[in-house]
Amino acid sequence: MVKKIKEYEKFLVNMTQSAENDLNEIILFIAQNNPQTALKIMEKIQARINTLDHFPYRGTYVPELLAKNMKDYRQITESPWKIIYKVDDDIVNILAILDSRRNLRDILIKKLLKS
C-alpha cells in the first residue's frame, strides 16, 4: 500500500554501492569515446534520481519483477537507462542503473537476490 505523502515531505535518497558501480561503468564506457557526453549523461541520471526526494512513488513498477509478483520495486527512466529503486519508510534506495536494451529480468533477479 502506498503511504500518503504530505506535500512538503522530503525523502532521503540513498545510492547503494551496486547502483554507484552501475553508474560508474556506464560513464567510463561512454567516456572512452566521448568524455563530454559521459559527463552530460551522468548529470542527467543524477538529476533524475534527485527528483525522487519529493516524489518517490511516481515511478512505475518494474515489469520484469512484477511478473514474479515483486511489487516493492519501482523504476524511472533516463532513456535508455532504467533506475531501479525501493522506498523504505522515508528512504529511497537506488538499487541499480541498467541499460534497458539488455536482458533486465535476469540481471535484476541476480542483483536483488544479492542484496
Domain residue ranges in the chain: 12-114
pLDDT of residue 28: 96
Mean pLDDT of 3-14: 75
pLDDT of residue 29: 93
* The CATH fold of domain 12-114: YaeB-like fold (3.30.2310)
pTM equals 0.82
Residue with cell 557526453: 37
CA nearest to 72, candidates 10, 115, 24: 115
Length of the chain: 115
pLDDT of residue 61: 94
